[in-house]
Chain A
Amino acid sequence: MSLFRKNRKKLKTSPQEQNGNEKTKLSSDLQDSITYINELLGKNDDFVYRDFYIFGSIPAYLCYFSEQANPSEINTDILKPLMYPPEHIQKNLPDESKLVDVIIKEVLYQSRVKTETKWDVLIDNLFLGDTIILIQGQDVGLQLGTRKLKERSIDEPRTELVVLGPREGFVEQLGTNIGLLRYRLPIPDLVIQTTKIGKLTKTKVAVCYIKGITNPELVKEVEDRLSKIEFDSVLDSGIIEQFIEDNPYSPFPQIQTTERPDRVVGNLIEGRVAILTQGSPFALLLPTVFSQFYQTTEDYTNRFLMGNFIRIIRVMALVFSLIFPSLYVSFIAFNPELLPTEFAVAVSGGRAGVPFPAVIEVLVIEVAMEILREATVRLPQQVGGALSIVGVLIIGQAAVEAGFASPVTVVVIALATIGSFATPVYTAAFALRMLRFPILMLAGLFGLYGVVIGAILILNHMLSLQSFGVPYMSPVSPPDKEGMKDVVVRGPLWKMKNRPGFLQAQDKNRVGAKTQELRDRRRVPGPVDEGK
């Protein structure tokens, strides 16, 4: 507790605020302002400033941060026209009261120009790459959008790969990400509102939704929760997620994170809200229900049957990854009579040399598997390959030969682990992998009875969760007719006429009448029929 208090005190006495308190408004005396700003920022090497004369006569001052702004743009589009103004102005210099207006309207080759009177706003924007011009005799500063940050090129998303579908992923720059959304949704109803969160990082956070579809109460709730975040650093969208989710102690993610602009757009259209964060390639989608975690955008772009087949496989993999090891343990340790005789003999033959009870054996291999997985993620790619070979050899072959585990155990764990990799959303896969351990313990204690008890506990927890007012297990329970068309199996696109009901969207209809007609007819007449 004392530690936190200290931090808070430190924050309060940060230099910026101290100075901000002393001086809030610009003064019209240029020299005064120059001394102030140089005292505040002059120590930084990347702070560039110069004095010059506007129209050859009026003293002015220009400054920017060299790595944040674009110097060539400043030189050609700002400094040059100011120093060599158009002829008609040079002949007839404007008087002091009209000066700023003339400069903005007639002189500068810059579209993003603002006047500002407050020091703290000016300086905040200076840090973000804007250029500031102060003029003798004016109590407003000019703030010019010359921002240029180096950014990564748009890449294929690393965590959500698809076979057929767009290959674009978000990058760290908020502006680029918003652009990726805008060109997919070129409608005026797409609303993007930005706020700044984080006392020190002042991270721009954008709330995106479609006006007329998304429930306004949901938007209000999101904005309300965001406005209550008072934290010193927001480095990634994950930090925002932790502050706004409903139940932070639940193993299940209640907000979906995604790198894919197409996924964000699809969810916006369903009536969800997306939150983009400056500096993070992950967007947050909310409210989230559990069924989203085994769905991918590919399910919708693929044809009806294929998409559904893959989705069913994925649901199976998800269930496998959760309970397969514990089912194995309870069959082996408690009810071997359930297995067909030949198989039971084979299993017990394989286990003959293993000294531990089945639970311990499975637990040890599971932990080894988790360590391997984590190590493979952290290692550089070149070494990763070597590690997986070692892992496979040691865990697979040698452990069995050494009498440490039975071959069937290895098969079972491998199936479960692969199953967890088939879950498309990383956070959800993680939750299920984690929950595998308590269920395993219960299986070791009570066999099948324990597995079912564990599954009921987990399901009950999921049923009691909510994400921004939407029950986590909807549309299954509480049942929702329209949402049910897209749970384990999705209906054909034209049959899912309305948006899912649990999101309480305003405009519900999705499919037009002509399409209905096109698809409702059993046989579309060909050109030959029409000719008759």
Chain B
Amino acid sequence: MDTPKKISEIQTAAVVISSIIGVGVLPLPLFAVKAGNTAAPIVTLIGITISLFALLIITKLGMTHPTKTIIGYSEEILGKWLARFCNIIVILFFALLTGLGAREFGAVVITAILRETPIEVTVIVMLLLAAITSRNDLNIFAYIHTFYLPVILSPVVIIVVLSLKNANFLYLQPLLGGDMGDMFKGSLTIAALCQWSFVLTIIIPSMLQPKRAMKACTAGLLIAGVILFMLVVASLAVFGAEETKKLLWPTLELARTTSLPGNILQRLDVVFLAVWVTAVFTTLFSGYTFTCYALTGIFRLSDHKIFSFSLLPIIFLFSMLPGNLLQMYKTIEVVGRMGLILTIVYPCLLLVIDVIRRKRGKRSAAAKT
């Protein structure tokens, strides 16, 4: 019997949400507050708007080429060799991003739960999980993202709701303020946290109705954006701008300040972190799958499975590049912002060239007749 082999809009939205909400959520309020002090919510909003713009561009590109992934249509637009060169850089960037994401979460885990475990072990476990799962096809990729969505969303909502008890809304004022340049840089960093949604470029061709991708992507990004925004507001309201700057993972601290009524468990942060493994997994899974499928596209292979394990050592190597936690966050910020060139400017260029070529094509076709 035929399965519903295609990805629906709800599933696409779920992929966007669960790809974006990942390990980046933990230091997010810190990034926002560092850039804009009490204007952190505004910074977050600008960041989300930027990433919405980026997402709309890749969705538009995908909708005009509904049967091709970014690998396919970029070669059509730019020509074979130039496109290949760009795509390889994009793939390298996502391999690096996946590696750094795994490293970041590994660092969180050894700080909060497993204090005596070497970081290599936690990182490799996470990467193995993504590698094993990436052997499945894109339908199952969508099933997995959809299934875990409630698990990913509920802890954030619970944390935000429970932290209202300790919130002081005076901390949120003044709404504006802070250096404009810093704020813009900060919002770029936040937009960089959302670039996991780039995985859409390989999802759209497998959609049931690629024409409806725009609605699904917008909805997905808006939901994810609301979640991120709520987190920034909550941690700012609970800790205040100055205190937040001293915390490495404000979201985790937020979880630590909350407790369940009835005193069933003494602390909640560890439980939240454990549940968060799921969120981190889906994010890494997106990055890993993108890398695998993009490579398959470049080499014109029919099966992506050979890459799922052969990529593992390379990504692991990437994840071990930064020496310590501080270096790691510097690398993540820099790499993330550089990546925006690849995930925003590159698709923009593709779109512009594509539109121009189409118009010309029409004109020349009109001239011929």
Chain A complexes with chain B: yes
Interface of A toward B, CB cutoff 8 Å: 215, 217-218, 221, 287, 334-335, 337-341, 446-449, 451-453, 456-457, 459-460, 463-464, 466, 468-471, 473, 476-479, 502, 504
Q: Are B125 and A446 in contact (CB under 8 A)?
A: yes
Q: A338-B270, A449-B274, A452-B278 known; A463 and B1 CB under 8 Å?
A: no
Q: A338-B265, A457-B132 are in contact. List 10 more A-B contacts (CB 8 A).
A: A221-B1, A339-B265, A448-B273, A449-B274, A449-B277, A453-B125, A457-B129, A460-B144, A463-B147, A466-B3
Give every chain A residue within 8 A of B160 (Cβ-Cβ).
none
With A448-B271, A478-B8 as contacts: A456 and B1 at CB distance below 8 Å = no
Q: How far, in angstroms, from A338 to B272 measured CA to CA in the complex?
A: 12
Q: How far is the CB of B182 from chain A (nearest CB, A)?
A: 36
- Give Cα A476 to B150, complex, Å: 11
Task: Give the total of B residues in contact with A, Cβ under 8 Å.
Answer: 38
- Chain B: CB-nearest residue to A465: B140
Say which residue of B2, B146, B281 sits within 8 Å of A217 (CB atoms).
B2
Rounded to whole Å, the gap between the CB of A528 and the closest CB of chain B is 48
- B interface residues with partner A (beta carbon < 8 Å): 1-4, 8, 10-11, 109, 113-114, 117, 122, 125, 129, 132-133, 136, 139-140, 142-144, 146-148, 263-267, 270-271, 273-275, 277-278, 281
Contact of B267 among A218, A337, A466 (CB under 8 A): A337
Distance of B271 from chain A, by nearest CB (Å): 7
Name B117's closest neighbour in chain A (CB-CB): A446
How far is B1's CA from A215's CA once the two chains are assembled, in angstroms?
A: 8
Q: When chains A and B are docked, how far (Å) is the Cα of A473 from the Cα of B146?
A: 11
- Residue in contact with B113 in the complex, picked from A221, A334, A477, CB distance below 8 Å: A334
Q: Which residue of A lies closest to B264 (CB)?
A: A340
The listed residue (B142, B264, B270, B275) touching A478 by CB distance below 8 A is B142
- Closest Cβ–Cβ distance, residue B21 to chain A (whole Å): 16
Flag if A479 contacts B10 (CB, 8 Å). yes
- Report whether A446 and B2 are in contact in the complex, using a CB–CB cutoff of 8 Å: no
Contact B125–A463 (Cβ < 8 Å): no
Q: How far is the CA of A452 from the CA of B8 in the complex (A)?
A: 28
Bound form: Cα–Cα A447–B8 in Å: 37
CA distance A452 to B114 in the complex (A): 14
State the CA gap A527–B246 with chains docked (Å): 74
How far does the alpha carbon of A466 sit from the alpha carbon of B140 in the complex, in Å? 10
Cα-based distance from A473 to B129 in the complex (angstroms):
19
By the criterion CB–CB under 8 Å, are A456 and B3 in contact? Answer: no
Contact flag A341-B266 (CB < 8 Å), given A449-B114, A478-B8: yes
Task: List chain B residues, Cβ under 8 A from A464.
Answer: 133, 136, 140, 143-144
Q: 7 tightest A-B contacts by CB?
A: A469-B1, A477-B147, A448-B274, A452-B277, A218-B1, A477-B146, A477-B143
Which residues on A sit within 8 Å (CB–CB) of B146? Answer: 477-479
Find out whether the CB atom of A459 lies under 8 angstroms from the CB atom of B147.
Answer: yes
A218-B1 Cα distance, complex, nearest whole Å: 5
Q: Quote the shortest CB–CB distance from A506 to chain B (angstroms).
A: 12
A470 touches B3 (CB 8 A): yes
Contact pick for B266, options A337, A473, A477, CB 8 Å: A337
Which residues does chain B contribute within 8 Å of A334, judged by CB atoms? 113-114
Q: Tally inter-chain residue pairs, CB-CB below 8 A.
A: 101
B277 x A473 contact (CB < 8 A)? no
**Of the residues B2, B275, B277, contact of A453 by C-beta under 8 Å:** B277
Return chain B residues, CB-CB under 8 Å to A339: 265-266
Contact between A469 and B129, CB atoms less than 8 A apart = no
Question: Taking A334-B113, A447-B113, A479-B146 as contacts, is the C-beta distance between A469 and B271 under 8 angstroms?
Answer: no
Can you sample 18 A-B contacts with CB below 8 Å? Answer: A217-B1, A334-B113, A334-B114, A335-B113, A340-B264, A447-B113, A447-B114, A448-B113, A448-B271, A449-B114, A449-B277, A452-B275, A459-B147, A464-B133, A473-B147, A478-B143, A479-B146, A504-B1
Complex: A78 Cα to B271 Cα, angstroms? 78
Pairwise interchain contact B281-A446, C-beta atoms closer than 8 A: no
A468 to chain B, nearest CB (A): 6
Q: Which of B2, B140, B274 makes the CB contact (< 8 A) with A469?
A: B2
| A218, A453, A457, A463 — most chain B CB neighbours (10 Å) | A463
CB pair B125 A338 closer than 8 Å: no
Asked whether, in the complex, the Cβ of A478 is within 8 Å of the Cβ of B271, the reply is no
B127 CB to closest chain A CB, in angstroms?
12
B14 to chain A, nearest CB (A): 9
A502 (CB) vs chain B CBs: closest residue = B4
A464 and B136 CA atoms in complex are apart in Å by 7
Which has the most chain A C-beta neighbours within 10 Å: B4, B8, B117, B136?
B4
Bound: A471/B1 CA distance, A: 11
Cα A477 to Cα B148 with chains together (Å): 9
| A478 near B4: Cβ-Cβ < 8 Å | yes
Whether B143 pairs with A473 at a CB distance below 8 angstroms is: yes
Give the Cβ gap from B257 to chain A, nearest Cβ, in Å.
Answer: 15
* A residues in contact with B140, CB < 8 Å: 463-464
Residues of B within 8 A of A473 (CB): 143, 147
Q: CB distance B270 to A335 under 8 Å?
A: yes
The CA-CA distance from A449 to B271 in the complex, in Å, is: 9
Contacting residues, chain A, for B1 (C-beta < 8 A): 215, 217-218, 221, 287, 468-470, 504
**Known: A335-B113, A504-B1. Contact between A448 and B132, CB under 8 A?**
no
Give Cα A479 to B148, complex, Å: 12
What are the residues of chain B within 8 A of A448 when measuring CB–CB?
113, 270-271, 273-274
Query: Would A338 and B144 be within 8 Å (CB), given that A446-B125, A452-B277, A456-B277 are in contact?
Result: no
Asked whether, in the complex, the Cβ of B267 is within 8 Å of the Cβ of A452, the reply is no
B113→A449 contact, CB < 8 A: yes
| Inter-chain contact B113/A340, CB cutoff 8 Å | no
> Nearest chain-B residue to A448 (Cβ)?
B274
Q: What are the residues of chain A within 8 A of B274 when measuring CB–CB?
A: 448-449, 451-452
How far is the CB of A445 from the nearest CB of chain B, in Å? 9
The complex places the Cα of A449 from the Cα of B146 at a distance, in Å, of 22
User: How far apart are the CA atoms of A226 and B113 in the complex, in Å?
Assistant: 51
CA gap between A218 and B3 in the complex, in Å = 11
Alpha-carbon gap, A471 to B147, bound state (A): 12
Q: Which of A451, A453, A459, A469 contacts B3 (CB 8 A)?
A: A469
CB distance from B194 to the nearest CB of A (A): 23
With both chains docked as a complex, state the minimum distance between the C-beta of B288 and any C-beta of chain A, in angstroms.
13
Residues of B within 8 A of A460 (CB): 132-133, 136, 144
**Which of chain A's residues have a CB closer than 8 A to the CB of B4?**
478, 502
**Cβ-closest chain A residue relative to B282:** A456
Most-contacted residue by chain A among B8, B136, B266 (CB, 10 A): B266
